[in-house]
Amino acid sequence: VNHRDFYLCHFLIDKGVATTAGGPGPDPVNIVLIDLHRAQIRRSTPMRWIVKDLGGLYYSAMDIDLSRNDLFRFIKTYCGQSLRVALEVPVDWGRVEKRALGLYRSERAALQ
């Protein structure tokens, strides 16, 4: 599945989840992905759509001060592998970053 509008604003997080000073509580967090009307369901998603979706997600998170460790944690979780293995999987993380930076620069230029 590729979303085609994969941005943070399309994730709804249950506000009823208990939190502590150290982060989310022991209960699982309920996250819902919305605006699926443009999503495409395929047997195999082409890399360009994976890059577009992940680039959009990264772009939408650029102003929330993600650390390098946050990015690596996302990559590990997304791939379900150790970081070493995750960076060797078919996802071209360089293209994802390039796409996100392009969107970010384009938005900033439009605002000026």
Hey, how many other C-beta atoms are within 10 angstroms of the C-beta on 58?
23
- Residue 5: active-site member: yes
- pLDDT over 70 for what percent of the chain? 88
Name the band, by pLDDT with cuts 50, 70 and 90, for residue 108: confident
Catalytic residue chosen out of the listed positions 5, 14, 35, 63: 5
> pTM for this structure?
0.82
Helix (H) / strand (E) element for 34: namely none
Question: Measured between alpha carbons, how far is residue 34 from residues 4, 7, 13, 38, 40 in Å?
Answer: 12, 10, 11, 11, 14
Residue-wise pLDDT for 30-73, tens only, equals 889 999 999 999 999 999 999 999 999 999 999 999 999 999 99
Q: Is the pLDDT of residue 27 over 80?
A: no
